[in-house]
Structure 1
């Protein structure tokens, strides 16, 4: 059995209870060393073999996972955040399927949510935005034409942009071309939940300068939208004049 485990967004205690248990039982751990907090490896047992996938190709990673599983070992593939978001796990699962090797996925706390916590913000404010768009700028990995930033920005929804800190000039132009005003609030969240977490707030027009002034070049999320402002409507869920399946509206 191979377990794909979400390591969480940085802080060691943000791994799930299940994820920590799987780490403690593992005979082999292949971890994403470029982003996973190395202190998580302290949860492993003394004789556990560890491999840093930042220095490995897909073929090398799969050799370790497949051989370990066929040798009857407990194998953990430790991904940053939640494996389902930019985790490149589909290609690994397909390789395991070809070898008839069973696997499971243990979800994790994505930096998407670590960033919201750092900002003390709610992505889905009533009357502001009820949609969160998770995306990235095109880089080494291209983005489908229908998912260009300008096209997505036209919705004026909350946007969380991964893997784009080195492209903030282009990102600013794309956001504005899509309809975001230059003064739309935004933030750069560097290493959400890590000890050296950094939160920089500003406006879309200032995105590149925000990063330069704070020496942020990678490992950050860009969040954009009016959810970072002060105007919103109260939720109907707790409105005394609104009935729910658990509570009648107040008629006094």
Structure 2
């Protein structure tokens, strides 16, 4: 059994033992970072952030004497060396990633290097783009009787996808999907969704730079997706919400139905 010491970082004493924090910055809106993430940025001696994806406003609360570094032009060795200089001097590092660090965040290789040097680290979660897109468009990702699961995936590109996770195979489940890192090949997305049996009438929300001032939310369908992408010039930092459960029918949860009892409420029919 493996027990992670980082799990003790919920209290003040546990936090003192952490030298590097991986912090989810959220999708772009500076107010969609967690309170904890913002506090740690304000306390850090080094704030190392992915400037190509994280707005400067997210790290604007860094201390005036803190070192704030944009990691966009740096490789793994350079970011690690930057972190280690601060740690060696007794400082604390806030490594700020877009969205949630656990999704396409490239934290595995960074933590591997830190583990090799005995550096204690922990992760603060963030709002990922798929959930931010659903919120911005007032979309429920789950629909009673039609869709009770949510898949986050990507189209195969420079980074391969396992044979068991091909988009067409996931589409056959007919549940809600968020497709990341695939805006360079919208035709490929449409082809795979169709190959998975989804009809051209299935609802799609194309969400561009969610949480940024230039945010765009385009409501379309699989059949209209290519035209929507071309018309609005959508490219990098675009997530596609595919919503087979949005068929226009009125399907609602039983949770607040007066005839649906649970541990905190009796049914009106109980007398």
- Tell me the TM-score range normalised by the shorter chain: over 0.9
Matched, 1:100 2:126: no
Structure 1 runs (4+) deviating above 3 angstroms are none
Alignment CA distance shift 1:228-1:195 (3 Å): farther
Query: Structure 2 residue aligned with 1:52, among 70, 73, 81?
Result: 70
Residue 188 (structure 1) aligns with: 206
Alignment of 1:99-248 (within 5 A): 99-248=117-266
Which ranges of structure 1 fall in alignment gaps of 5 or more residues?
Answer: none
SS at match of 2:36: helix
CA contact (8 A) 1:128 1:232 kept: no
CA contact (8 A) 2:207 2:215 kept: yes
Which ranges of structure 2 fall in alignment gaps of 5 or more residues?
Answer: 1-18
Residue 249 (structure 1) aligns with: 267
CA contact (8 A) 1:7 1:19 kept: yes
CA contact (8 A) 1:121 1:227 kept: no
Residue 57 (structure 2) aligns with: 39
Residue 49 of structure 1 and its aligned partner are, at CA, apart by 1.1
Alpha-carbon distance in 2 for matches of 1:32, 1:232: 42
Matched, 1:21 2:39: yes
Residue 15 (structure 2) aligns with: none
CA contact (8 A) 2:62 2:68 kept: no
Residue 77 (structure 1) aligns with: 95
Residue 227 of structure 1 and its aligned partner are, at CA, apart by 3.7
SS at match of 1:222: strand
CA contact (8 A) 1:121 1:228 kept: no
Please give the per-residue CA displacement for 1:182-221, whole angstroms capped at 9, x wherever unaligned. 1111110011121111011111022222111001111110
Alpha-carbon distance in 2 for matches of 1:157, 1:243: 27
Count of aligned pairs between the two proteins: 252
